[in-house]
Amino acid sequence: MQARFDDVKAMVAKSLEGAMAHLPKGELTDAMRYATLGGKRVRAFLVMESARLNGAEDSAALPVAAAVEALHAYSLVHDDLPAMDDDDLRRGMPTCHVQWSEATAILAGDALQTLAFQLLTDEAIGDAEVRLALIAAFSKAVGAQGMVRGQALDIQAETAAEPLDEKAVIRIQEAKTGALFEFSAVAGAIMAKADPEPLRDYARNLGLAFQIADDILDVTGDEAATGKRVGKDDAAGKATFVSLLGLDAARAKAERLVDKAEAALEPYGDAAGNLRELARFVIERDT
């Protein structure tokens, strides 16, 4: 899996640079580039592997993978703002609003979001029907029905009269983190006009396992390794899988979710080996 992961990272970095190469020079474009540096590229890897499993070429899947990473970068830039999660470190670097300014960070995020949709219009992806289907699914995943809704619920939870229970935390994370994971995993099936349900099931379990791992790292992780501040959730009194379940139970839940994710891949047989390894990586990582 690692060799494929490294290839995907390199391809996506080149694709994003190419997409921004013809933008006007200046602070806005510099901030956009800055925001897309680094990262695990798990979502891009999901796109590329789901496409491969469904018979699509890398050249067709790459614009979709780049779109997902541009959108993800925008979400991080905005989430880090003082009005949101108020973070000053991301991927081992100062957050965008610290490096530049709040105004530039907001505009860079806005521009990355629109760039993502532009990338999904690339004719290399497939025919117009496929591209429209991807744009429709993407819009649902990242807007008021998905990722943005999850962030809104997360903010509302900070001032909730009653502490959140596990079901409420799952509802937030399925939107905030899981929706983009789900789109990334089913993108290849959409491109091939194939059944997306096995990959959708895989992604739902993977997304929650990923979030539990993030919650665990916020408690046990090392700032130098994670590239972001740790201990913030506990300091803010935020309800997480760890605060609700405890470390051991949270780890056990993540393991069960990974088992379910792997089981969902059975229709693909040995061809889904990379996605099985990815599921294990998600809960064993230290970043």
Percent of the chain with pLDDT over 90: 89
- Please report the pLDDT score of residue 230 as a whole number: 81
User: Which of these ranges, 32-46, 60-74, 142-156, 236-250, has the smallest mean pLDDT?
Assistant: 236-250
- Please report the pLDDT score of residue 196 as a whole number: 97
What is the mean predicted confidence (pLDDT) over 59-86? 97
- Please report the pLDDT score of residue 227 as a whole number: 82
285: left (phi over 0), alpha (psi -120 to 50) or beta: beta
Asked if 205 contacts 264 with a C-beta cutoff of 8 angstroms, the reply is yes
- Measuring CA to CA, which residue among 23, 26, 67, 11 is closest to residue 191? 67
pLDDT surpassing 80 at residue 235? no
Rg (CA), the chain: 18
List, as one string, the DSSP characters of 63-126. HHHHHHHHHHHHHHHHHTSTTTT--SEETTEE-HHHHS-HHHHHHHHHHHHHHHHHHTT-GGG-
Place of tokens 């290839």: 7
The string over 216-247, giving b where at least 16 C-beta atoms fall within 10 Å of a residue's C-beta and e elsewhere, is: bbbeebeeeebbbbbeebeeeebbbbbbbbee
- Please report the pLDDT score of residue 161 as a whole number: 83
For residue 63, give the amino acid letter. P
Q: What are 33-53's pLDDT values in tens digits? A: 999 999 999 999 999 999 999
Between CA 61 and CA 43 the distance in angstroms is 12
Between CA 179 and CA 203 the distance in angstroms is 9
In terms of C-beta density within 10 A (0-12 exposed, 13-18 middle, 19 or more buried), how is residue 131 classed? buried
For residue 159, give the amino acid letter. T
The residue length of the chain stands at 287
Which domains occur in the chain, in start order? 1-284 (1.10.600.10)
pLDDT surpassing 80 at residue 279? yes
pLDDT surpassing 80 at residue 174? yes
Between CA 174 and CA 182 the distance in angstroms is 9
Asked if 233 contacts 218 with a C-beta cutoff of 8 angstroms, the reply is yes
What does each C-alpha distance from 85 to 89, 95, 258, 285 come to in angstroms? 11, 11, 28, 23
Strands (E), the chain: 89-90, 93-94
Model confidence at 287, pLDDT cuts 50, 70, 90, reads: confident
User: Which of these ranges, 5-9, 135-139, 221-225, has the smallest mean pLDDT?
Assistant: 221-225
What is the mean predicted confidence (pLDDT) over 66-92? 96
Model confidence at 222, pLDDT cuts 50, 70, 90, reads: confident
Q: What are 69-80's pLDDT values in tens digits? A: 999 999 999 999
